[in-house]
A and B are shown apart, each in its own frame.
Chain A
Amino acid sequence: MSAAPQKAKPGAEAIAVTVSAVVPLNDLVTRFEFKRSDGEAFPTFSGGAHTVITMNDDGRTRLNPYSLMSDPADTSTYAISVRREDKGRGGSLFMHTRVKVGDEMTLTYPVNLFSLDLRARKHLFFAGGIGITPFMSMIAQLERMNGNWELHYSVRSEALGTYVDELKYKFPNKVHVYYDDQSQSIPLEHLLDGQPLGTNAYVCGPKGMIDWVHATASAAGWPDAQVHSEEFLKPEPGKEFEVRLCKSDKTITVGENESLLEAIERAGVAAPFLCRGGACGQCETDVVKADGEFIHRDHWLDDDQHASGEKIMPCVSRFLGSLELDR
């Protein structure tokens, strides 16, 4: 134990897995199930945790985070559900079109940035579309603990209602589904009013929905600490830009369709990360010099830090111009 403080390792610990099932759920969403390749049991996890899956897309490494949506107590199988994004950067398309039963892949150990507040007397869930996934594992966990929960789930149509049938069958009195194409919407103000003291609210879905729940709860007098949300940002494509990595003495070009973090990794530079979605803070990087304009997209740095130009989150943020980083 003589070592100096160690630098954060890139990513959580990895687990080699074999794809055990590929189950299309509807036109957009497919569930992927995994067994450990070494035959051992998976670590159990807490509801709301995610894993980062490594895809080998013809030599290009893609790392995407997905919520674990299997029962946390089931250590034989992990499952994720992936929505196909036809206009995305290709990770979900790769999962939908290329991944087959028997494929060898790598998952990380579970990481939870969206955990249940176990003090809560009641858990009030708001899901939009594929945002249902973290609630699947939370519900499984709470059912084992006799937890008090209620789900309000907004979907586009009956045909795209991922897990609606299963949820309504198992929990007819706790699950409430709202169909966009039938002009139904979550009666949020009404639901936030009159909940028992000690209720915690959780929202996962599109950014607009998350903002709506936070703003409505805040206006209704809910403490911020009792309203939880998770939104994985995806790195957005953007104009190519050049970055000087000072510590590694390398100059890299970030392509239109890759993130700054991916470009750093492609150059063989080990950079810390966990969620790859702008939420966990692990990849925070110091800016040495910046000549141009930041495109900050993360949820980690605050407005002052964004304005300071001293930090950047390379998993989701970009730059227009030339940039020097302490990496």
Chain B
Amino acid sequence: MTIQFNEETFRDDYSFYNSDWAIKRFPFPFHEDSYMYAVNMEQHRGGPEGSVYEKRFDVDEHYVSEMRDRAMVLADDPLRCQSLPHMTLAGWDLLELIMVSKSEDYPDLFELNRDGNQWRWINKPLGIDDSFTFLDETTLPYGPMEYITRQAQGDFCVLDQRDEMLWMDAGMVTTQADWSLDFDIGMNFFEWHAPVPLAHEMGIFKRALKFLLNIQQGAPARRLNWTMTVNPLLDTSPENYHKWGIQKTTLTPENIGSKQHLRVELQTFFRLPRSNALVFPIRCYLCSFQDLMTMPKWGRRLHRVVRDLPEELATYKGFIDNRPMMLDYLSKFDDGLPTSPGVFPDFETEPPLQTTT
């Protein structure tokens, strides 16, 4: 498998695009025609061939451009990457996990040679060839977590586990859905989730915490989360809200199909071996409404989900003002036919959109 990496931007002229391949494998998050919170965890042990679930760390056509965007964010704001002093060992755990996974899952793109603690890492897409001593920070240009997450798509929260609780004690966060690592650093699981509506009352976080505390080595887990983003922006951070928040008002009935994106997070969870910390990679996928509508099942379903979503959730996810315009657009792709269960597009079997004349 060789990936053709896109030349694209996630800012200014927004030249980001999804190929047909990327649209087809987009992790559409709704397995039925409605949405409500659920812990919705499953094991992260592969998935259908070619899907984003197949590999431990998915690499796709956006890899090189995403890493370039991350470097720009970090140059402007180094606090997007932080690691409290006791988390360095967890950083090495993460570096090992990513290097081993990528070199095994994508041998044509990544190579790892290990001779005891003398390691050589080759990242062909980014043109990196570094030799270093494992567990010796002085032999890398950055700390271990920063080094490897500058080469891995998605955000990474590295959570310490103490006193039956998880603590946000390290992370690389540049592609986030409006939350700040610099604000949350050092917080516990309930503290950093405090802004989420409804879920606390539903007991979701208590159950989720219990599940996460029990994730064991060799048994990673995953779930999906989603929100909406106007323009294909990776960095929708509170720090930069003054730059991107205003863009939500630029939506018109003419441009909504190309400007409005469904933003999906593939969240995975791995127990780290030496530190007993938990790493929580949050991989962001973007797909424009017009690209989603090429899959008739997703068109029907997205309309129904957005239409029936409780007001608190539409507010929290930041699209309550634009919801009427979204529904005007999406309703044109919903002919009322039933949809098949599950998240996959079922392009071969779902009937095309029935147009009324």
B87 contacts across to A, CB distance below 8 A: 118
The answer to the question of B356 belonging to the interface, with a C-beta cut-off of 8 Å to chain A, is no
Question: CA separation between A65 and B274, bound complex, in Å?
Answer: 20
User: Are the CB atoms of B43 and A6 closer together than 8 Å?
Assistant: yes
- Do residues B216 and A1 form an inter-chain contact, with CB atoms below 8 A? no
Shortest distance between the CB of A304 and any CB in chain B (Å): 16
Give bound CA distance, A302 to B218, whole Å: 30
Are A45 and B27 within 8 A (Cβ)? no
A1 near B219: Cβ-Cβ < 8 Å:
no
Max chain B C-beta neighbours (<10 A), residue from A1, A225, A280: A1
Contact partners of A118 in chain B: CB under 8 A: 86-87, 89, 160, 275
Partner of A2 from the list B43, B274, B342 (CB cut-off 8 Å) is B342
Write out the residue numbers on chain A whose beta carbons fall within 8 Å of the beta carbon of B216: 12-13, 109, 111, 274
Interface residues on A, range: 20 to 34
Q: Can you name the residue of chain B whose Cβ is closest to the Cβ of A12?
A: B216
Nearest-CB residue, chain B, relative to A111: B216
Size of B's binding interface in residues, CB under 8 A: 36
Q: Determine the distance from Cα of A5 to Cα of B38 in the docked complex, in whole angstroms.
A: 8
Residue of A whose beta carbon sits closest to that of B214: A282
Contacts of A46 in B (CB 8 A): 273-276
Interfacial chain A residues near B35, Cβ < 8 Å: none
A280 / chain B contacts, CB cutoff of 8 Å: 214
CA distance A33 to B126 in the complex (A): 43
Cα of A145 to Cα of B135 in the assembled complex, Å: 9
Contact of A43 with B by CB under 8 A: yes
A20 at interface by CB-CB < 8 Å: no
Given A46-B273, A225-B163, A1 contacting B218 (CB threshold 8 A): no
Q: Scoring A residues 273 to 316 as 1 if CB is less than 8 Å from chain B, else 0, what string do you get?
A: 01000001110000000000000000000000000000000000
Return B51 CB to nearest CB of chain A, in Å: 8
Q: How far is the CB of B195 from chain A (nearest CB, A)?
A: 23
Q: How far is the CB of B215 from chain A (nearest CB, A)?
A: 10
Cβ–Cβ contact B273 & A44, under 8 A? yes
Majority secondary structure of chain A interface residues (helix, strand, loop or mixed) = loop
In chain A, positions 133-159 with a C-beta closer than 8 Å to chain B are 141, 144-145
A119-B86 contact in complex given A46-B274, A46-B276, A225-B163, C-beta closer than 8 Å: yes
Distance of A58 Cα from B341 Cα, bound (Å):
47
The reply on B189 being an interface residue by CB < 8 A is no
Q: Classify the secondary structure of B's interface with A.
A: loop
Decide if A100 is an interface residue (CB 8 Å cutoff). Answer: no
B53: chain A residues within 8 A (beta carbon)? 1
CA–CA, A113 and B173, complex, Å: 29
CA distance A152 to B201 in the complex (A): 46
CB distance from B133 to the nearest CB of A (A): 13
Q: Is A3 an interface residue (CB 8 A)?
A: yes
Distance (whole angstroms) from the CB of A78 to the closest CB of chain B: 13
With A1-B47, A118-B86 as contacts: A43 and B275 at CB distance below 8 Å: no
As a 0/1 sequence over residues 256 to 285 of chain A, the CB contacts with chain B under 8 angstroms (1 = contact) are: 000000000000000000100000111000
> Are B276 and A2 in contact, CB atoms less than 8 angstroms apart?
no
Q: Is the CB of A109 within 8 A of B217?
A: yes
Instruction: State the Cβ distance, B6 to closest chain A Cβ, in Å.
Output: 24
Please give me the residue from chain A that is nearest to B207 by CB atom: A5
- State whether the Cβ of A64 lies closer than 8 Å to any Cβ in chain B: no
Q: How far is the CB of A31 from chain B (nearest CB, A)?
A: 22
Would you call A45 and B162 a contact (CB within 8 A)? no
Give the nearest-CB partner of B272 in chain A: A46
Partner among B42, B214, B218, B274 whose Cβ is within 8 Å of the Cβ of A274: B214
Nearest neighbor of A144 in chain B, beta-carbon distance: B135
Query: Does B41 lie within 8 Å of A1, measured CB to CB?
Result: no
The answer to whether B274 and A44 touch across the interface, beta carbons within 8 angstroms, is yes
Is the CB–CB distance between A109 and B39 below 8 Å?
A: no
For A12, the chain B residues whose CB sits under 8 A away are 216-219
Given the complex, which residues of A lie within 8 Å of B43, measured CB to CB?
6
* Complex Cα–Cα for A119 and B89 (A): 11
CB–CB B342/A43 < 8 A: no
Q: A12-B217, A13-B216 are known contacts. Are A5 and B40 too (CB-CB below 8 A)?
A: yes
Given A72-B274, A119-B86, A281-B210, residue A1 in contact with residue B217 (CB < 8 A):
no
Q: For A114, give the chain B residue with the smallest CB separation.
A: B276
Is A115 within 8 A of B276, CB to CB? yes
CA distance in complex: A303, B180 (Å): 38
A109 vs chain B, min Cβ distance (A) = 4
A131 within 8 A of B: no
**A172 CA / B218 CA spacing, docked (Å):** 37
Q: Which residues of B contact A13 (CB under 8 A)?
A: 216-219
Interface residues of B in 152-202 (CB under 8 A from A): 160-163
**Complex-state Cα separation, A280 to B89, whole angstroms:** 24
Which A residues are CB-close (under 8 A) to B39? 5
* B224, CB-defined interface residue at 8 Å: yes
Q: Please name 8 further chain A to chain B contacts, defined as beta carbons within 8 Å, in addition to the given A43-B217, A115-B161, A118-B89, sorted by A numbering.
A: A2-B31, A2-B342, A6-B42, A13-B217, A45-B217, A119-B86, A144-B135, A225-B163
* Cβ contacts A to B, 13 pairs, < 8 Å: A1-B47, A1-B343, A2-B341, A9-B219, A12-B217, A12-B218, A43-B218, A43-B273, A109-B218, A110-B217, A118-B86, A274-B216, A281-B210
Query: Which A residues form the contact surface with B (CB < 8 A)?
Result: 1-6, 8-9, 12-13, 43-46, 49, 72, 109-112, 115-119, 141, 144-145, 225, 274, 280-282
In the A-B complex, list the 7 residue pairs whose CB atoms are closest, starting with the nearest.
A2-B342, A13-B218, A109-B218, A118-B86, A2-B31, A46-B276, A115-B276
